[in-house]
Amino acid sequence: MDIATSLLEILKYTIPALVVLIATSTIVNRFLISENQRKQMAIFQDAQDVTLRLRLQAYERLTLFIERLSPRQLIPRVYDPSMTVQDLQTAMMLAVRTEFEHNLSQQIYVSKNVWETVKGVKEQELNMLNRISQTLDPEASARELHARIIEVVSKAEGDLPTDVALQIINEEAIKVMKFGSF
């Protein structure tokens, strides 16, 4: 056998082996890329599910905060017949601020509009409380402040700030549930 025949004999086995190697390599590579993409999509979907749950919990917590901020809910929680106007005012302001601070972290899960609305309602409620308290004797019975707040809230024209905030939170939560984002 000469060198040409030996070379031809080697090529006869080597070329099909190279073709099979290249084909196998291409198939395995595509499979691994596809599998990697599937895993990434699964991880992304899991992250989306977790984020959606956290966002919905944030809307729930902010809804609860707004409900608890309402004078009709707040006064019965802090009112004590032995309190003075100043005592009730202080207790109500402390309750609002404490609950607000407890919910500060929720702002990372909701839109700027919702968070600004929540902050605005808190400030409006505190301002209303201060405005009404200033018209009364600080040493008078807390019953006077309680009655005056209920009177102001009852006579308010249009929607109360808490009602508007609840509507905004609800609308955004519905969008998030439908579309996963906004």
Q: For residue 141, with 0-12 CB atoms within 10 Å meaning exposed, 13-18 middle and 19 or more buried, which class applies?
A: middle
Cα gap 75→87, rounded to integer Å:
12
The answer, yes or no, to whether residue 101 has pLDDT greater than 70, is yes
Residues 100, 65 contacting (CB under 8 angstroms): yes
- pLDDT of 110 reads 94
- pLDDT of 161 reads 92
- pLDDT of 42 reads 78
Residue spans of the domains in the chain: they are 53-179
Q: In 3-state terms, what secondary structure has residue 84?
A: strand
> Which tokens go with 64?
């609860």
pLDDT in tens, 12-29: 888 888 999 999 999 888
- pLDDT of 75 reads 94
- pLDDT of 30 reads 87
Q: In 3-state terms, what secondary structure has residue 156?
A: coil
User: DSSP state, 135?
Assistant: T
pLDDT in tens, 128-160: 999 999 999 999 999 999 999 999 988 888 888
Of 71, 54, 164, the closest CA to residue 118 belongs to: 164
Cα gap 21→3, rounded to integer Å:
26
Length of the chain: 182
The answer, yes or no, to whether residue 97 has pLDDT greater than 80, is yes
Q: What is the pTM assigned to this prediction?
A: 0.74
pLDDT in tens, 26-74: 988 888 888 888 888 877 777 677 788 999 999 999 999 999 999 989 9
Residue 141: beta bridge partners? 84
Rounded percentage of the chain residues whose pLDDT exceeds 70: 97
Cα gap 65→99, rounded to integer Å:
7
Q: Which residue has the higher pLDDT, 77 or 159?
A: 77
Rounded percentage of the chain residues whose pLDDT exceeds 90: 63
Cα gap 25→27, rounded to integer Å:
6
